[in-house]
């Protein structure tokens, strides 16, 4: 079941090191046309795809064959007048209008049935709240855990309640053959049942702005609930007692809430890289200089539009305010984490 | 009496009497009311827009070579694909065949002197110019990064020049409405005596169906864009969810126009192909009425299927089902056309001229475009394919594989009429081959990467898609070279081509009874009415190196009497 | 195959002699030209209807979502002024129809009189509309984002009304000056034309002043009613503030919006439709109201321009028994503008 080269331990290590959108782990190979079939919908949907594909292939081959044959057979030859032939043949024309329609009815029927399956979740489904914002995903589970990657357990039903904080997004996991737009101002819903363990790509499928193509994350399907719970569990309160724990808390929060736009690897993303910025004097578009300290980081989180680092100002000011979304403790952890990354670019491990 | 002298006069005016030598100077073009000159100006305009947007396409394809970015930032990439789409759709494809070729050919096919409202015609040309200028202003100020669909609420939030661009699209919409209105009235009231609805060439039927869509659908785009502008400037909260508006309403409004607009793009192309297939195989079009009515059926059904763009938007299950079902019905009239074109080839006398090569390419490419539409109308499959490269490939097959090849084929077909000169057939065929193969190389890999999960509008992508993108980029350059070659062949012919008389193809529709190029008032003699696909009326006259209507060669008939004398 | 000859006169460079004076060269007959124009204008009207249809759709959607908001919001609109405008437009349709009739019969003077009457009605309509708009703006009734309902404390003539009226005043004065300049130059037809325009712009002030007088009367009456109901207590000193209140408005709608209402709220603000947000939701009604009536007003202005052009040609005596198409076509357009108002009036003003 589990793909070669993939283990949950590796995955845990991989998660711990993550900042920013993770580099692609080894994804399982699917067929030539499709990614691996990892949900209950996939096989049905693919089967229908291939059915249509072969119907089309037969028709297209017929068209090409007829065309080539006719063009050669009836090519213009000097001195040869075309034979007279009828200008229309109503029964024939009606036949080739109506007969293919029967195939269309089949396609419609199967397509609609598959769609019904996709619309009606089981009652026992766990509801996962998916919060999309430019350019980040946040998944909240029924037990209160949350994560930046989607963790599921194989063979369990999940219902997703999708909401967007800003513009249109779309929840799309190719391996699950499921896609649902996320519309700000209302909830949309979808459900699925994963049938394969492994790591799969989750994309934003509706254009949402500058960094649309980076608004992707991974879906990790675990073999057991235990693994799934272990992957998302985090002892926030237990860790906050010492500095090291607070930094770890901060790092985890950062990877979930901030890493969509801020890297710790030195790479310029939508927002500035935050590795090695602690304590330095930051230049601003209006010429003033502010030292990056606790107060500035706090202000940037709560009132991001107030002082924007040079070259990140208008018209690029994308950062939303996290007022109400992060509490004082959480802001403190993030400050601790950024602080731990020091004043000059280092590798992405906390000191 | 038919003598050689007045036989020459049948098609031969003195060179300074044709439509482009009739008067000189910038103003004689800028203020002209002549449908032919307006058609030429449109042709130049839409070609310029096409080349601009084509360059954007090549930039996009180059950028996508590696997946990690070549020379553009994500933001620049987003602007590039938006401008590519917006300029291609609004400034090129929609006006291309109707406004450029249609303007030139439609009145002449009716044996008329002009369209019904020449001033309105000029007005729609200038609206096109201003609309395109607005798009350029948007491009040159802060750009545009919403995608050509202007989806709310991103289009309300972004700081780019959405207001200019929507203003441009709004104005272009009115240009399109006026062209459609003009054509519709012209066909209704200016058909000559003896020309019933079923003696109209099929190109006219197609333009007529197109005009209906232009008139009925475009105003809805107009009000939508106006509301979007109001939303951006005054925050009226109709589309903005943050203020209680409904962003999905925007999608409904937008696709209520933009789906029918797909048929504005493809129907005229189908009309051109009906002409080309029939003329170049010298065979009466097979199933005239089926083709004619299928145009109208497509125009009608086109209004009822807009929701299939929104299968994943969260609209109700019932709506998705209804839209899916109706969408399948559009396949029927489209298939009818393809079958009837093949039927036309049967027992014809097929010459693989350049226009015919383009027409055959059209059938194949449109065939793929149409058939892949079936995947997308099937809801459960569309839920996977929606907004992937599969869609990108599908609509390029329809719009580029369809409309562009039809436009080029039509240009090659009517070029002898427009310029009075013949082009190099070998190079013409080569261009058709390059366009066809380059096109397939570009877009066939996109179907595969789409179903594998490559999202559209992605500036960066996962490495597994790299090889497909590289093929696609290579194909795009072949396609670009083919298009350049086609234009080069045409332009060279305009200067140096062999002069031709009125009717080199032996076509039977009325526009070929004029001289080449046509004189200012189109026809120098009385037009002889005949069925548009009755090629037996056209006989080859070696003296003129052209086909001539049988009637002109019968000495007893006074119809050839030149009227100037 | 029967080859029919075409009655084609394209070759004939002198063809226009056989045509009427105003028949374009590419038409064969006056009838063909008229038919083309008629079909053209009908198609144009179809596009106009579809243009408005988007707004009607938006209206329907939001009304079905928030029926109670629409009922309350419409009480802010004055039915009497709306009704008066309806009558004015209906009357203008009558005069327009009479103008078409007179053009058909080639009665030059009657055409001019009826056209001027139609134009005056259009201007009166705009004048009344200006009073309605400015009154609402005084109270902070704007589109959704700027909606900031408050009691109007100022009195006298609204600054918004003055702002709207200035262009009309300029045009009025300009027309009068132009008219008398042309008279002194001996160009009688231009004198008639510009004096007619002046009369039209005068119509705007007729509507505006009339509307304002009515508004003031209504304000005073409301104040009296309010004062009577409060039993002549100390509140009479607040006459001006309570004077502006709408008797039909329920107390909840008088809730004064927060001071930051003019600021576009943040994207992730909850779409809460509780009573505290009622004012803002009424803002959506007024967004739609301003879009619909504003677009309609633009069409009225467009109609006035077209009518002025007709008037000019009527003064020159262009119409013939076989050439009166332009009057007919503009007439059709004018009836459509009227018709759209007939739909707007009940949809916006008469909801309860």
User: Tell me, what's the ipTM?
Assistant: 0.91
**CB-based contact, A165 to chain C, within 8 Å:** yes
Q: How confident is the model over C140-148, as a mean pLDDT? A: 78
CA atoms within 13 A on the CB side of A104: 24
Amino acid A318: pLDDT: 67
**CB-based contact, A320 to chain C, within 8 Å:** yes
Task: Give how far C193 is from chain A: nearest CA, Å.
Answer: 52
B252-289 in b/e burial notation, b at 16+ Cβ within 10 A?
Answer: bbbbbbbbbbbbbbbbbbbbbbbbbbbbbbbbbbbbbe
- Chain B: touching chains (3 or more CB pairs < 8 Å): A, C
Instruction: Using the predicted structure, report yes or no on whether residue B329 has a pLDDT greater than 70.
Output: yes
As a whole number of angstroms, the distance between CA A160 and CA A171 comes to: 10
Amino acid B64: pLDDT: 95
Nearest Cα to B354, choosing from B415, B288, B289? B415
Instruction: Using the predicted structure, report yes or no on whether residue B318 has a pLDDT greater than 70.
Output: yes
Amino acid A196: pLDDT: 92
C188 C-beta neighbours (distance < 10 Å), count: 11
Instruction: Using the predicted structure, report yes or no on whether residue C178 has a pLDDT greater than 90.
Output: yes
Amino acid C223: pLDDT: 83
Least confident of A333-337, B276-280, B459-463, C250-254: C250-254
Taking a C-beta distance cutoff of 8 angstroms, is the pair C81, B222 a contact?
Answer: no
As a whole number of angstroms, the distance between CA A336 and CA A329 comes to: 11
Average pLDDT of chain C, as a whole number: 81
**CB-based contact, A111 to chain C, within 8 Å:** no
Instruction: Using the predicted structure, report yes or no on whether residue B531 has a pLDDT greater than 60.
Output: yes
Structure tokens belonging to residue B521? 């008032």
Q: How confident is the model over B553-561, as a mean pLDDT? A: 52
Sorted by sequence, the CB contacts under 8 Å of residue B39 that are 6+ apart come out as B99, B100, B101, B102, B103, B104, B105
Task: Give how far C19 is from chain B: nearest CA, Å.
Answer: 15
| pLDDT tens-digit readout, C284-316 | 888 899 999 999 999 999 999 999 999 999 999
**CB-based contact, A33 to chain B, within 8 Å:** yes
Amino acid A8: pLDDT: 43
Q: Which residues of A touch B384 (CB under 8 A)?
A: 45, 49, 174, 177-179
B441-478 in b/e burial notation, b at 16+ Cβ within 10 A?
Answer: bbbbbbbbbbbbbbbbbbbbbbebbbebbbbbbbbbeb
Structure tokens belonging to residue A269? 């993303």
- Kindly write down the DSSP assignment for every residue of C315-338, as one continuous string: HTT--BTTB-HHHHHHHHHHHHHH
**CB-based contact, A184 to chain C, within 8 Å:** yes
**CB-based contact, A172 to chain B, within 8 Å:** yes
CA dihedral sign of residues C215, C216, C219, C224: negative
Size of interface B-C (CB pairs under 8 A): 177
Q: Which residues of C touch A165 (CB under 8 A)?
A: 267-268
Chain centre to alpha carbon of residue B412: 14
Torsion angle defined by CA atoms of residues B227, B230, B232 and B238, in that order, rounded to the nearest 10 degrees: -50
| B-interface mutation test, from A104, A164, A219, most B Cβ less than 10 A away | A104
Sorted by sequence, the CB contacts under 8 Å of residue C266 that are 6+ apart come out as A321, B242
Find, in chain B, the residue whose alpha carbon is nearest to that of A212.
B458
Out of B145, B378, B452, the one facing A48 most closely (by C-beta) is B378
First-last CA distance in chain C = 68
| A-interface mutation test, from C263, C265, C267, most A Cβ less than 10 A away | C267
Amino acid A30: pLDDT: 82
HEC-encoded secondary structure of A188-237: EEEEECECCCEEEEEEECCCCCCCHHHCEEEEEEECCHHHHHHHHCCCHH
Amino acid B555: pLDDT: 57
- β A198-204/A169-173 pair status: antiparallel
Q: Using the beta-carbon criterion (under 8 Å), do A320 and C271 form an inter-chain contact?
A: no
Taking a C-beta distance cutoff of 8 angstroms, is the pair C320, C106 a contact?
Answer: yes
Q: Using the beta-carbon criterion (under 8 Å), do B78 and A212 form an inter-chain contact?
A: yes
Amino acid B473: pLDDT: 96
Sorted by sequence, the CB contacts under 8 Å of residue B58 that are 6+ apart come out as B476, B477, B480
Amino acid B563: pLDDT: 43
As a whole number of angstroms, the distance between CA B301 and CA B419 comes to: 38
The pLDDT > 70 percentage for chain C reads 79
Structure tokens belonging to residue A76? 């213009």
Amino acid B269: pLDDT: 96
Least confident of B302-311, C258-267, C294-303, C311-320: C258-267
As a whole number of angstroms, the distance between CA C56 and CA B157 comes to: 25
- Which position has the higher pLDDT, A17 or C32? C32
| Angle of the A225-232 helix axis to the A8-16 helix axis, nearest 10 | 10
Q: Using the beta-carbon criterion (under 8 Å), do C268 and A166 form an inter-chain contact?
A: yes
Residue B1's pLDDT band, with cuts at 50, 70 and 90, is very low
| pLDDT tens-digit readout, C217-244 | 888 888 888 888 776 555 444 444 444 4
Find, in chain C, the residue whose alpha carbon is nearest to that of B530.
C3
- Which position has the higher pLDDT, B129 or C352? B129
Amino acid A84: pLDDT: 78
The tens place of each residue's pLDDT in chain A, 351 residues long, gives 333 334 444 444 444 444 444 444 567 778 889 999 999 989 999 999 999 999 999 999 999 999 999 999 999 888 777 777 888 888 888 888 888 888 899 999 999 999 988 888 888 899 999 999 888 899 999 988 889 899 999 999 999 999 998 899 999 999 999 999 999 988 999 999 999 999 999 999 999 988 899 888 999 999 999 999 988 888 887 777 788 888 888 888 888 888 777 888 777 777 788 887 787 777 777 777 888 888 888 888 888 777 777 777 555 566 777 877 788 888 888 888 888 887 654 444 443
Nearest Cα to B139, choosing from B51, B98, B79? B79
Least confident of A271-275, B308-312, B544-548, C256-260: C256-260
Q: Using the beta-carbon criterion (under 8 Å), do A178 and B384 form an inter-chain contact?
A: yes
B20 C-beta neighbours (distance < 10 Å), count: 19
Amino acid A338: pLDDT: 86
Give Dmax over CA atoms of chain C in angstroms. Answer: 98
First-last CA distance in chain B = 14
Average pLDDT of chain B, as a whole number: 90
HEC-encoded secondary structure of B64-107: CCCCCCCCCCHHHHHHHHHHHHHHHHHHHHHHHHHHHHHHHHHH
Q: How confident is the model over B320-349, as a mean pLDDT? A: 92
Least confident of B266-280, C173-187, C220-234, C268-282: C268-282
- Which position has the higher pLDDT, A82 or C340? C340
3-state class (DSSP) for residue A306 = coil
| pLDDT tens-digit readout, B130-172 | 999 999 999 999 889 999 999 989 999 888 899 999 999 999 9
Amino acid C249: pLDDT: 39
Highest mean pLDDT among B399-403, C138-142, C218-222 belongs to: B399-403
pTM for the model stands at: 0.88
As a whole number of angstroms, the distance between CA B533 and CA B509 comes to: 7
């Amino acid at each position: 079941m589990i793909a070669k080269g993939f283990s949950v331990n590796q995955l845990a290590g991989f998660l711990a090191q993550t900042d920013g959108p993770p580099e692609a782990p080894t994804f399982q190979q699917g067929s030539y046309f499709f990614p691996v079939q990892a949900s209950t919908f996939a096989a049905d949907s693919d089967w229908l795809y291939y059915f249509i594909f072969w119907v089309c292939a037969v028709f297209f081959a017929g068209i090409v064959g007829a065309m080539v044959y006719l063009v050669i057979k009836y090519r213009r030859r000097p001195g040869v007048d075309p034979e007279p032939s009828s200008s229309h043949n109503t029964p024939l024309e009606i036949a080739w209008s109506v007969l293919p329609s029967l195939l269309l009815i089949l396609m419609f029927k199967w397509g609609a049935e598959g769609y019904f399956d996709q619309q009606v979740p089981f009652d026992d489904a766990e509801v996962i709240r998916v919060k999309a914002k430019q350019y980040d995903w946040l998944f909240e589970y029924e037990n209160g855990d949350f994560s930046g990657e989607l963790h599921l357990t194989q063979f369990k039903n999940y219902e997703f309640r999708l909401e967007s904080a800003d513009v249109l997004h779309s929840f799309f996991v190719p391996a699950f053959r499921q896609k649902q737009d996320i519309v700000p101002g209302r909830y949309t819903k979808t459900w699925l049942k994963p049938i394969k363990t492994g790591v799969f790509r989750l994309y934003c499928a509706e254009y949402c702005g500058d960094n649309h193509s980076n608004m992707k994350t991974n879906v990790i399907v675990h073999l057991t609930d235990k693994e799934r719970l272990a992957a998302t569990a985090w002892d926030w309160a237990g860790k906050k007692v010492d500095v090291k724990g607070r930094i770890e808390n901060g790092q985890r929060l950062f990877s979930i809430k901030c890493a969509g736009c801020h890297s710790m690897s030195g790479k310029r993303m939508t927002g500035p890289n935050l590795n090695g910025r602690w304590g330095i004097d930051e230049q601003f578009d209006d010429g003033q200089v502010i030292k990056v300290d606790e107060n500035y980081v706090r202000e940037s989180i709560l009132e991001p539009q107030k002082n924007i680092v040079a070259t990140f100002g208008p018209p690029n000011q994308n950062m939303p305010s996290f007022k109400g979304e992060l509490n004082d403790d959480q802001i403190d952890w993030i400050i601790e984490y950024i602080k731990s990354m020091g004043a000059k670019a280092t590798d992405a491990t906390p000191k | 009496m038919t003598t050689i002298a007045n036989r020459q006069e049948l098609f031969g005016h003195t060179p300074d009497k044709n439509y482009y030598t009739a008067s000189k100077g910038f103003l004689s073009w800028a203020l002209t009311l002549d449908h032919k000159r307006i058609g030429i100006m449109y042709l130049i305009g839409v070609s310029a827009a096409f080349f601009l947007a084509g360059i954007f396409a090549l930039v996009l394809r180059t950028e996508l070579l590696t997946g990690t970015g070549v020379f553009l930032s994500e933001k620049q990439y987003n602007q590039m694909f938006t401008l590519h789409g917006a300029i291609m759709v609004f400034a090129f494809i929609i006006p291309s065949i109707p406004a450029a070729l249609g303007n030139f050919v439609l009145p002449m096919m009716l044996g008329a002197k002009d369209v019904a409202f020449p001033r309105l015609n000029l007005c729609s040309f200038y609206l096109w110019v201003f609309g395109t200028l607005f798009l350029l202003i948007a491009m040159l100020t802060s750009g545009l990064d919403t995608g050509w669909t202007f989806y709310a609420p991103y289009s309300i939030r972004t700081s780019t020049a959405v207001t200019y661009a929507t203003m441009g699209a709004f104005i272009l919409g009115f240009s399109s409405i006026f062209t459609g209105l003009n054509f519709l009235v012209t066909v209704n009231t200016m058909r000559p005596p003896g020309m019933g609805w079923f003696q109209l060439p099929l190109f006219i039927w197609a333009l007529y169906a197109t005009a209906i869509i232009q008139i009925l659908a475009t105003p809805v785009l107009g009000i939508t864009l106006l509301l979007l502008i109001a939303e951006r400037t005054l925050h009226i909260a109709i589309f903005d969810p943050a203020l209680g508006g409904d962003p999905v309403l925007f999608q409904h409004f937008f696709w209520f126009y933009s789906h029918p607009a797909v048929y504005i793009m493809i129907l005229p192309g189908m009309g051109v192909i009906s002409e080309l297939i029939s003329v170049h195989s010298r065979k009466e079009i097979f199933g005239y009425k089926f083709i004619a009515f299928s145009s109208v059926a497509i125009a009608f059904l086109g209004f009822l299927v807009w929701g299939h763009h929104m299968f994943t938007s969260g609209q109700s299950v019932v709506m998705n089902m209804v839209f899916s079902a109706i969408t399948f019905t559009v396949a029927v009239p489209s298939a009818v056309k393809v079958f009837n074109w093949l039927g036309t080839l049967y027992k014809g006398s097929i010459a693989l001229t350049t226009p015919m090569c383009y027409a055959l390419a059209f059938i194949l490419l449109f065939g793929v475009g149409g058939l892949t539409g079936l995947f997308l109308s099937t809801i459960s499959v569309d839920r996977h394919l929606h907004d992937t490269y599969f869609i990108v490939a599908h609509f390029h097959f329809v719009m580029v594989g369809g409309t562009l090849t039809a436009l080029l084929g039509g240009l090659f077909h009517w070029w002898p009429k427009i310029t009075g000169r013949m082009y190099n057939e070998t190079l013409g065929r080569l261009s058709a081959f390059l366009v066809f193969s380059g096109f397939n190389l570009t877009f066939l890999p996109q179907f595969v990467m789409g179903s594998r999960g490559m999202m559209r509008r992605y500036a960066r992508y996962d490495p597994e898609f790299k090889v497909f993108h590289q093929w696609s980029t290579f194909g795009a350059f072949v396609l670009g070279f083919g298009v350049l070659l086609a234009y080069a062949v045409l332009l060279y012919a305009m200067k140096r081509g062999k002069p031709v008389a009125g009717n080199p193809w032996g076509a039977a529709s009325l526009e070929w009874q004029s001289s080449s190029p046509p004189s200012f008032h189109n026809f120098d003699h009385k037009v002889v009415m005949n069925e548009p696909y009755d090629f037996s009326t056209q006989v080859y006259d070696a003296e003129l190196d052209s086909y001539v209507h049988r009637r002109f060669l019968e000495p007893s008939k006074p119809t050839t009497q030149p009227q100037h004398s | 195959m029967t080859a029919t000859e075409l009655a084609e006169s394209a070759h004939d460079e002198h063809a226009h002699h056989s045509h009427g004076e105003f028949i374009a060269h590419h038409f064969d007959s006056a009838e063909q030209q008229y038919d083309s124009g008629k079909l053209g204008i009908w198609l144009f009207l179809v596009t106009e209807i579809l243009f408005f249809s988007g707004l009607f759709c938006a209206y329907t959607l939001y009304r079905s979502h928030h029926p109670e908001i629409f009922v309350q919001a419409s009480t802010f609109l004055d039915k009497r002024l709306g009704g008066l405008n309806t009558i004015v437009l209906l009357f203008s349709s009558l005069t327009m129809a009479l103008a078409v009739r007179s053009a058909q019969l080639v009665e030059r003077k009657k055409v001019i009189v009826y056209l001027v009457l139609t134009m005056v009605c259009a201007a009166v309509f705009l004048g009344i509309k200006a009073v309605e708009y400015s009154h609402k703006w005084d109270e902070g009734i704007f589109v959704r984002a700027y909606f900031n309902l408050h009691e109007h404390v100022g009195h006298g003539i609204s600054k918004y009304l003055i702002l709207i009226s200035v262009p009309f005043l300029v045009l009025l004065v300009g027309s009068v000056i132009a008219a008398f300049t042309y008279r002194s130059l001996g160009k009688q037809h231009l004198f008639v034309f510009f004096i007619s325009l002046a009369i039209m712009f005068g119509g705007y002030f007729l509507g505006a002043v009339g509307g304002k007088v009515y508004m003031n009367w209504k304000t005073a009456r409301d104040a009296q009613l309010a004062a009577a109901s409060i039993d002549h207590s100390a509140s009479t000193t607040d006459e001006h503030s309570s004077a502006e209140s709408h008797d039909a408005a329920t107390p909840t709608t008088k809730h004064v919006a927060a001071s930051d209402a003019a600021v576009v709220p943040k994207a992730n603000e909850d779409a809460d439709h509780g009573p505290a947000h009622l004012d803002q939701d009424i803002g959506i009604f007024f967004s739609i109201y301003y879009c619909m009536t504003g677009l309609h007003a633009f069409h009225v202005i467009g109609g006035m321009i077209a009518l002025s052009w007709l008037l000019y040609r009527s003064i020159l005596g262009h119409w013939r028994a076989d050439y009166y198409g332009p009057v007919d076509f503009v007439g059709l357009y004018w009836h459509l503008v009227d018709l759209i108002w007939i739909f707007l009036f009940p949809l916006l003003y008469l909801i309860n």
